[in-house]
Structure 1
């Protein structure tokens, strides 16, 4: 069986009429990133001048069927999704035994790059900026969950930003489709710092969509603190697991960020997944808070926002006060 038929299975390559359906149709510009079996390039289409992200998957280096299934899964998931805050699938094809997935290009990099910028400049991210980005992340994830798709690897490096400031969730190679009768998954995948306790636990407890909510809490915290809540020097998986299961993270400063932001982090970072809000609730809060920062004149204090008026800063970043490691 050829690599193309083995890998693509029910997802046949596009025909020659597709302007994105062949490597010769692209001018490769530069390397954007690398994975275990993949390289992502920025490329320009020779027919229409459109710049895209071209993900090259080196099939010949894949020694097991599971890795190939991950390729098929990513294509399948991308084809199901259509939302401004999710990286758009354009096409795919096979060239010299390598699979190429053509994706929408987010030219401004990713959230990890933005967090590093604030760290280098010794500034905290303004809360208005946090809600602007976080509300878009939540919108994209709400769309995914509505399609019964769990991301499973939400982290700053997988949250991309366009030149217009639009945030898009990407890298769905670890995504998992849940049929209507499926309630949980059992595989250990993802990035440990953003893994929920039920996923990083040494026992196979299973997990569901609320595992993504834990990861959202980690992202929201990191945008405010400029580091993962459970980051530590020289942590192995056992020590990280203990840190996560003890909820051992330093609270966010009360003198710069609103009580609503801090409360949402604490709601997401709950050990019992049943006690976490679902994506609809998290997205509702995120949209409400971003709207509030857009219209400060209409801001009405709530019982939970006693510290908000003194902590908000719409026009500039505050000086960075490092969150100490514990």
Structure 2
């Protein structure tokens, strides 16, 4: 079946979001009746810009990586279709992203829901890292949730495979607020710890309903971290002063007690978060190690309250053009 005929299977129900390289629509598969997320990428904009046949590198990376992974907490790429000037990625559909859910929730996330989400996310990250894949852009906007209590990682445009020993990669990855301190200090030899730090920031945001380190520039981001975690020293992070962007003139802040900033539901939450927000990447626990913590062993599927998020069924009769 050619791609034009395959596209006819889908009926657009409305726009679900928009990113750098394309628009995401909620659509329905006419054959199965199931909803999907349809990411449309216009190819002509990328010709002659170093992209493979006009396909942006982020889309190529996402397709390549997602075709090789299968996990209950990673969004599934169902199909790839193309026309002469457009590329369509068909994903399983979830109700909304974690950022929107937190922004519109009247109450902080329930303790059991936070635990449930963290168990699923760490399980997914352990799976990715065991397959030598870094996500590199974990943030609430890239985590999708549904009414059954599932949470799934999406948007693998910045993800990449890694090898051991680690190679030199660009440090200009991961949205600022969730970027690990080693990246902000110019480290180019990094590994799985960057995803763990990002997840720690996400966990703190679930507990606080606001970002823990909301910097507006790289230096402001560092200072936001330093003011809470303390300015890193050689005794707690050996080699930190040798990183390219570390300055001896950095202000010397002492670490604050996280309990004064984050409203923990219990001590186990605090322990898990501190392990994830450890300065020294060599001492930062892996996802596999964190999954052994008693806190996560009692996690169970917990249903979020999505009653405040009515699903709009605005039909676009024009189809996915």
Q: TM-score range by the shorter chain?
A: 0.7 to 0.9
Residue matched to 1:152:
136
Report if the CA contact (8 A) 1:216-1:268 is conserved.
Answer: yes
Residues 201-221 of structure 1: CA deviation (Å, up to 9, x unaligned):
2x3433211110100110111
Change (3 A) 1:272 1:45: same
SS for the counterpart of 1:273 is: coil
Structure 2 unaligned segments of length 5 or more: list them. Answer: 231-255, 306-321
Distance in 2 of aligned mates of 1:54 and 1:21:
15
Higher helix share: 1
SS for the counterpart of 2:81 is: strand
Residue matched to 1:69:
57
Shift of 1:245: 4.5
- When the two chains are superposed, the root-mean-square deviation of aligned CA atoms in Å is 2.7
Shift of 1:250: 7.1
Residue matched to 2:203:
220
Residue matched to 1:237:
218
Residue matched to 1:292:
298
Report if the CA contact (8 A) 1:21-1:91 is conserved.
Answer: no
Change (3 A) 1:316 1:96: closer
Shift of 1:184: 4.8
Shift of 1:158: 0.6
SS for the counterpart of 2:67 is: helix
SS for the counterpart of 2:214 is: coil
SS for the counterpart of 2:8 is: helix
Residue matched to 1:128:
112
Change (3 A) 1:150 1:230: same
Residue matched to 1:25:
9
Distance in 1 of aligned mates of 2:208 and 2:76:
30
Distance in 2 of aligned mates of 1:186 and 1:271:
20
**Which is bigger in relative contact order (C-alpha 8 A, separation at least 6)?**
2
Question: In the TM superposition, what are the counterparts of 1:176-191 in structure 2 within 5 Å?
Answer: 176-180=160-164, 182-191=166-175
Residues 159-215 of structure 1: CA deviation (Å, up to 9, x unaligned):
1012322111111011011135544522412200000011222x3433211110100
Distance in 1 of aligned mates of 2:259 and 2:304:
18
Q: Select 2:37's aligned residue among 48, 53, 62.
A: 53
Report if the CA contact (8 A) 1:21-1:92 is conserved.
Answer: no
Shift of 1:291: 4.2
Indicate whether 1:278 and 2:286 are aligned.
yes
Distance in 2 of aligned mates of 1:72 and 1:199:
24
Structure 1 unaligned segments of length 5 or more: list them. Answer: 1-14, 295-313, 318-326
Report if the CA contact (8 A) 2:113-2:304 is conserved.
Answer: no
Indicate whether 1:91 and 2:79 are aligned.
yes
SS for the counterpart of 2:23 is: strand
Question: In the TM superposition, what are the counterparts of 1:203-214 in structure 2 within 5 Å?
Answer: 203-214=186-197
Distance in 2 of aligned mates of 1:96 and 1:281:
47
TM-score, normalised via structure 2 length: 0.77
Q: Select 1:194's aligned residue among 178, 181, 184.
A: 178
TM-score, normalised via structure 1 length: 0.76
Residue matched to 1:251:
258
Report if the CA contact (8 A) 2:43-2:85 is conserved.
Answer: yes
Distance in 1 of aligned mates of 2:303 and 2:26:
33
Report if the CA contact (8 A) 1:198-1:206 is conserved.
Answer: no
Q: How many residues align?
A: 273
